[in-house]
Structure 1
Amino acid sequence: MGNAIVKAQTEQVERFLGNVVNELNTFLNHATISSFLNEEAGGEEEYYEDLFRNLRRLSVYCEEGLEACKIVLQNEPFRKPAAEKALYKIYHQCIEEFYNPKNDVWYEDSRSAYTGKNAIKYRHAVPATLQTMIASLESGFQEIREELEYYETDYRTKMIQSK
């Protein structure tokens, strides 16, 4: 891929991650386990703790990815290998963490592409506020996943060939 394409992708990912970080942190700054328990009668506190743990992890990964994009984009001249490495890492940390969180607190329903419904399904009942927030992020994650899937194979192939 040319420098211009990789730079445009890095800028797109930077905007996306900026939005994700903002939305996740706003949510995390206002939501509590107590508010979840009040909102969802019969909810499981331990499950909610795992949800918050995963949301915080996702927020940190996205903040790190955002910072990496900013650094790569500030460098003159633009360094394509550094950008590709950052995008590869973002794919594996942010995108994969969104769709496959630790402890399997939610999962991706692969059939959702055929049904037109949201892909994220929860293991237990969750409050509507969480469902709404995750649903609002989902289309952006899907778009960026499709955009960065290239790096899953290309970057790894380059690393193997360079050894």
Structure 2
Amino acid sequence: MSGTHLKLLCEETFRRLKKVSMELERFLNQVTLSELVKQSGDPEEYEAYYRSYLSDLRHLLVNSENAYEKVGVCLRRARFSEEFAQEVLYNVYHTCINCFYYPKGEVYDENSRMGYTGEDPIVFSKEVTPELRHLTLYLSRTFEQMRNELHYFESDNTIPSNQMISSV
């Protein structure tokens, strides 16, 4: 991959992660667990679900902010380091994109076949509030674009072997 292409990927990833972080932070600063439960009705059915959902969103926010800062460092260096850029983009793929598509609380799943039909690819485990649905689908579109652009970094073979963590 050329250095120019890599730098463009970093710039686009930086821009998208900044938007993701801003949207997540805005949502998390405005919503409370009790509000979400109240809007959905049955507290026994929704309290644990929304607690898990909000926890997953907080993890995603932290991962996105950390990745955003690292991509920023990569772009601000006096001399653009292709090796460092590859490492940073690899980490974006494995911490942010995977964190979104595989939430710990399993509050939603991705049905990639739905994307071919024009429907939203996110399938919620329970009916969610309109604001949460809107945020999740916005994140889905953003992370889908990043996943398509960064698919090269999905494999462990894309970062230098001296950077890989031993599986021992």
Same-fold call, TM cutoff 0.5: yes
Query: Aligned partners of 1:105, 1:6: CA distance in 2, in Å?
Result: 34
Corresponding position of 2:93: 91
Unaligned 5+ segments in structure 2 are none
Change (3 A) 1:162 1:41: closer
TM-score, length-normalised on structure 1?
0.93
Q: How does 1:11-90 map to 2 (within 5 A)?
A: 11-42=11-42, 43-90=45-92
In the alignment, the residues of structure 2 paired with residue 162 and residue 27 of structure 1 have an alpha-carbon distance, to the nearest angstrom, of: 35
Q: 1:54 to 1:162 in 2, by over 3 A?
A: closer
Instruction: Write out aligned runs for 1:92-107 (5 A).
Output: 92-107=94-109
Q: Extract structure 1 runs of 4+ deviating beyond 4 A.
A: 160-163
Structure 2 length-normalised TM: 0.90
CA-CA distance at 1:114 after TM superposition? 2.0
State how far apart, in whole Å, the 1-side matches of 2:111 and 2:86 are. Answer: 29
Task: Summarize the Cα distance change of 1:131–1:78 in structure 2 as closer, same or farther, 3 Å threshold.
Answer: same
Identity within the alignment, %? 33
1:120 Cα offset (Å): 1.2
User: After superposition, what is the alpha-carbon deviation per residue over 1:78-123, rounded to whole angstroms, capped at 9, x for unaligned?
Assistant: 0010000000000011111111111211111122122211111111
Q: Give the Cα–Cα distance (whole angstroms) in 1 for the partners of residues 20 and 163 of structure 2.
A: 34
Q: Deviations over 1:11-59 (max 9, x none)?
A: 0000000000000000000011111012212251011100000000000
1:100-119 equivalence runs, <5 A:
100-119=102-121
Structure 1, unaligned runs of 5 or more: none
Given that 2:115 and 2:121 are in contact with CA atoms closer than 8 Å, whether structure 1 keeps it comes out as: yes
Whether the 8 Å contact between 2:90 and 2:159 is mirrored in structure 1 is no
> Offset of 1:157 from its aligned partner?
4.7
